[in-house]
Structure formats: structure tokens, C-alpha cells
Structure 1
Amino acid sequence: MASIRVQVPAQVRQLPADLAAVLGLVVLTNLAVFLPVARETPLRIVFGLPLVLFIPGYALIAALFPEAGESPTEDGETSALSDRGIDGIERVALSFGLSIAVVPLLGLVLNFTPWGIRLVPIMIAVSGFTVAMTALAARRRLELAAEKRFSVPYRQWLDAGRTELFDADTRTDAILNVVLVCSVLLAAGAVTYAVAVPKQGESFSEFYLLTENETGELVADDYPTEFERGQSRPLTVGIANQEHERANYTVIAELQRVDIVDNETRVREANELHRFQPSIAHNETWHRQHTVTPEMTGERLRLQYLLYKGTPATPLNRSAAYRELHLWVNVTAPNTTAPPS
């Protein structure tokens, strides 16, 4: 064990325990978010909440105030903040406040970059900021004399807890202390479970069609309705999974000649144009741009998109589709008249 410790760089060996814990939590959160197996578990929330709500602010406070702080005296008298630094309670309170301020600012900056506010850029920004502040905090703290550095009194807490639990003045005090510890652990476990396994809400899937406007932005507007046979027009089909689990879908695009009899639409002829089979995780969105090239001509043809969960049966039962979208289009034969010479 000693030989392994010698092989570790001196900067790492000298890293204060609280800052090492900050870096460890950053690593664990990234593993929980990006590893294929872990990202589907509640660990993503358990580690993600501290990273967003507490850790960035704690690293920033550690960089700003590397010196040990003094708590106010019993009579309420305190020296200037610059003289006494900040104590542990103040650090915790400021860490929450600064985290709530820093993370939205990082998101605002990302909003004006090509990467936008998405999971990967947010994780890189928050993790990078936290690691940078932790490195600065470690450097500033190690520049101080040992007796002036801030440190978390882990050993004092452990010794005090051991004394209260096992060396209590009376048997009643010892029992009460054990009951208190169990109550705190039970409450912490209940809160963790409520956050990590929230009550499942309504399950549904969003299904929609989009087009590109003049600036290349996807919008739900200006759908093509006039075609020539063989002419290709682009469309984008999208699915947003809110089923609280990964789902396998099948999307079928058909151009249909239909009759409407007694308010019932009957398909007389259908040409399948496209078929997609995406697998989408919960709370993720899937887009697929494709071109519609009709070969059937006529007026009031129906361009229909059918969404199925899993693989639809054969022959195709359109009424069993989970979701349905359609456009009414006109398709004319191409003008083959030769231009006048």
C-alpha cells in the first residue's frame, strides 16, 4: 500500500480530502450519465442533483476562501469577514446559492454557442467549471500555512459520533442516540428514493411532421400539398418518447387513394413510400428527414404516416396504429409538352 502511495503524484497526494471528494463526485456523475447501463438507472439523478445544486458552488467558494474560518463567538461578536474567513455553515449555504447562480449562467452561455443547451454540452461545461475551480482552490489552499488552511474536520466528527454512540453517559442516552441516527438514515433514504424514483406520470409518445423554413429551422408549417409525379419534396418525421421506458417503433409512410363514404375513409389504393424502425430511450427525441416522391396521380390523395409500437402485423391494419398523421395532397402528371422552337 505504501509503495502505491509513493507512485501517486505529489499534487494528488496533497489534495485536500473535501476537494478530492468533489472530483470523485464529478467523475461518478459523468459515469452515471454516459455509461450505457448506468444512465438508465436512478444513479443518474442521485449523482446529478448534487453536481447541479451544490458541487459547483462549493468548488467556487473553496477557490475564493482557501483559509479556515472562525464561527461567531457566543456573545455574538465577530470580526470582519476578511479577518475570520467563513466557517462551515456559511460555506454550505453559499455553495447552494452560488450553484443555483452558476449553472444557469453556464446554460445561458451555451445557448449562444453552436452546441446549444443539451446534455453533453451541459455536462462538459459544469464538470469543466467544477474541475477548474477545484484546481484553483487546491493551489490557493496549499500556498497557505498548514494551520491557516480550511479543512473539513472529518476525524473530529467521527470521534464525537463514536463517543456519543458508544460512550454515552447513560444507557438511555445511548439508545436515544442510536434511534436518532436510524431516524436520520431513514429520512435520508426516503428523500433519496422519492427523488430517484419519482411517481410515474402519464405515458405517451409525441408524433409530428416538420418542414424546413428559409433559414433551415424545423417548423410545423408550410407543408407541401402540390406535387408532380416523380417530384421529390423533403419532410421530417419526429417522435418524442415519454413512455418512461425505451420503446421500439415502426413508422410507415403511405400515399393513398381514398373514398369517403358515410364519414368513413376507405383506402382504395396505397403505395408505401418509407418505413422506419427507431428505438428511442425515454425522454429522447428522434427526427428523420426524408423525401416524398409520389408515383400515384390524382386530387385529394392522402399522405399518411402511421406510428406503431413494435412491428405491425401483416397484412397492415391501419386502424391499429398507435398514432396517425396525414396531409391531403394533389399529384399531377409531369408536363411533357415540348417547348416551342
Structure 2
Amino acid sequence: MSDRRTAWLLLPQPVRRLPADLAAVVVLTLLTLGSVFIPGINETPLRVIFGLGFVLFLPGYALIAALFPEKGSREVSADDDQTQTETGSETETKPSPVPGSDAAETGSSQSTERSEHTQQQGIDGIERVALSFGLSIAIVPLIGLVLNFTPWGIRLAPIALSVTVFTLACVSIAAKRRREVPAEERFRVPYRAWIAAGKAELFDPDSRTDAALNIALVLSVLLAVGSVGYAVAVPPQGEQFSEFYLLSESDDGELVADGYPDELEVGEQSELVVGIGNNEYELTTYTVVIQLQTVEQDGNTTIVREREEIDRFQATVEHNNSHHEPHTVQPTQPGENIRVKYLLFKDSVPETPTQENAYRDLHIWIDVLNPNEASRLAPQFRY
């Protein structure tokens, strides 16, 4: 016990004087930053759990705490006052003063002051929670809008740090303003009363019916929390597929899905990049077979007359990752409308790879010229 007391006294005085609800906001904010930026933890469901509260509740709650440091009270109307007087539950029945007398004027003045005082007090707990959600939904997009006009832009780190700075600044202002309010008027979260009432209701029910209802309530809450936790930890598996694409290098060195060769000489090389994207929800081994095919068109049917395998490679790709494999196209025989066919297979490759038994396929068309024919035709392409 003394060790805990000593550790508590080591904290700065402003931290020790911080109210429990504001301290909880600070702790949850720091936990959110940890769940977002610490490697390993940022891949767990904790990132989603803390992130939702960080975006949807904490900034608004901190702002409301800064704007309304005092506790709220229900405004009592004239009808409520009359009802309380008639029942005698809270006030003692007194004779009405004579109209026009000093007592009547004094009572009227005091009543007006009490009414005005009641209207000047802060919001109650339900309004505070509702406004916290509403303001958070408004604050975070506004912060993103401001960041959009800065060099940092709308990215994870700037957004997280900006919301953190805003939240902690509001917590600091809220703590300062709450200390300036008289102790009996400060807002406090009655968590001790809630805990005591919960224990009394759960462990000391008034009847067996209440006990059964309490057990059913606890089981329902546990079931709901378990269902939400399972949904976050094990999201439903989406459609399984693999991406297969062909890229070339542009003049500025970027990989683009354009600029494929359409004419090569025999022996001439063209550098391309084969891309594979794994969305199979498992580690997958791919095999890519590249063929030069001579084809003919028979109506709407393409008939492969000859095929020559010019390259083959394997790639093992984890789920939600991509692999880029450099590839060189170098034709060895001349011909027109030569189809360079890329065939993608999962796990194993048939003895005769074709478009029909491939998992994915793509192709480009090229004309392969003899060097002498290319030099003879070259002037035709100078304009």
C-alpha cells in the first residue's frame, strides 16, 4: 500500500489533481496511440476498439468538459413545485404570503433568482454523452479539412496526432475551469455510486425474480460483447481471387500498365514486369508460364497453331501482398500478330499449359521482324 502511495506522489501535482473522467480520457487517448503505432499491436483488434472511441467520443467529451465544468441539474417548473408541495415529499407546506406585502415580494424575488440560477447551470449526464458523440463526429472531419491544406495532408499519423493534441488541450482547459468552480457545483462522474448500486443489485437482489433477471442481463451483455469481439477479431472472409497484370517502365522510371512493345526484331529484348496480387486469404505459390503463340482467327474462335515456352517462374505470396517479377521478352522467330501469352497457375502446372487450364491469363500482341526486313521498312515509320 505504501509503495502505491509513493508511486502516486511521484506524479506531477496537476496529474494527481486531474478528475477521474478526464484522467480516463488521457489514458484512453494514449492507449489509442499505442494501438495504432506500436508494431504488432496495430495489427490486432485493439486498434479498431480504441480507434472507434478515439474518433467518435473522446474529442467531443473533452470539448464538452471544457465548455461545461459544472454539474447539471434538472430545471424545476411551477407544476413540479406545486406537485412537490401537495405530496409533501420534499417541501413543507407553508401558507402563501399576503399579495402586495414585503414577504410576497421577497418570495417572488427569491423564486426568480432560483429559477435563473437553475437555468444557468450545466447540462446533465445524458446530454453530455449525446453531445460528446455529436461533436466528435463534427470535430474530426474539420481537423481533416484543415490538414488537407497543409503539407502533411490527410494521413494516419497527422490525423491521430492532431486529434490527440486537440483532445489533450481540451482536457487541460477542462481541468483548469473545473477547479475554479465551487466544489459542490463541479461535475463529477458518480462511478463509485454506480459500482455500489451495481454490486447491490447483482449480489443482494430484492427477490428471486430480480436475481434471475440480473443473471439474464449479465449473460446478455457477455453474449453481446463476445459477438462484437468475435466480429472484430475474425472479420468475414471476402471473395477469394488473385490479381494478374503486366507493367512496363515509363521514361521517369515508374511502373505503368501501358507502353507495351508492339514490334520487335528477332533477338531484340523488351523489359516488362509481371505482377501478382494475392487475395486468397492464405499463403499461395504461383507459377507463371510465358509462351509465344502463333494463332489464327476462325470467326470468333482463336486457334493456336504453334506455341513456344520462353520463360517460367514461381512466386510465393502472402495474403494481401503483391509480387513483381521482371521479365524479358525476346522473340526468336519472325512473324506477324505473335501473341505473347502469360498463364498463371496455383500450386501445380499441367503438362501442357494452356489458356483453358490456367487460373488467370493475359497477353499482348507483337510483330516480329527480321533485321533486314526492319531496315527496309524503317523509312515508312519516320513520319
TM-score class, shorter-chain normalisation, is: 0.7 to 0.9
Partners of 2:186 and 2:342 in 1: CA distance: 66
Q: Is the 8 A contact 2:336 2:368 kept in 1?
A: yes
1 CA distance for matches of 2:116 and 2:249?
63
Does the CA-based 8 Å contact 1:16-1:138 persist in structure 2? no
1:279 aligns to what? 317
- In the alignment, is the contact (CA less than 8 A) between 1:249 and 1:307 conserved in 2? no
Q: Within 1, Cα distance between the matches of 2:38 and 2:351?
A: 40
TM-superposed CA distance for 1:157, in Å, is 1.2
Distance change >3 Å, CA 278–CA 54, structure 1 → 2: farther
Structure 1 portions without partners, runs of 5+: none
Which residue matches 2:54?
A: 51
Give the structure 2 partner of residue 141 of structure 1.
174
Aligned length: 327
C-alpha distance in 2 between matches for 1:30 and 1:293: 49
> Would you say 1:199 and 2:236 are equivalent positions?
yes
CA separation in 2, counterparts of 1:116 and 1:211? 30
**What secondary structure does 2:177 align onto?**
coil
**Equivalence for 1:269:** 308
Of 65, 77, 84, the residue aligned with 2:67 is 65
- The answer on whether the counterparts of 1:250 and 1:278 sit within 8 Å (CA) in structure 2 is yes
1:256 and 2:292 aligned:
yes
Q: Which moved more, 1:154-163 or 1:3-12?
A: 3-12
* Shift, 1:315, TM fit: 6.6
Contact 1:46 1:196 in 2 (8 A): no
Change (3 A) 1:317 1:4: farther
TM-score normalised over the length of structure 1: 0.72
More helix by percentage: 2
Alignment of 1:312-331 (within 5 A): 312-313=348-349, 317=353, 320-331=357-368
Structure 2 length-normalised TM: 0.66
Out of 263-272 and 88-97, give the one that drifted further: 263-272
Q: For the structure 1 residues 165 and 205, does the alpha-carbon distance in structure 2 shift closer, same or farther, using more than 3 Å as the test?
A: same
Q: CA deviation at 1:169?
A: 3.7
Mapping of residues 20-31 of structure 1, within 5 Å: 20-31=23-34
Counterparts of 1:248 and 1:33, CA distance in 2: 28
3-state SS of 1:143 partner: helix
Distance 1:246 1:26, change over 3 A: farther
Cα 1:28–1:212 shift into 2, 3 Å = farther
Give the deviation of 1:222 after TM superposition. 5.8
Contact 1:19–1:134 under 8 Å retained in 2: no
**Identity of matched residues, %:** 45
In 1, the alpha carbon distance for the partners of 2:149 and 2:269 equals: 38
Q: Gapped runs of 5+ residues in structure 2?
A: 81-114, 379-383
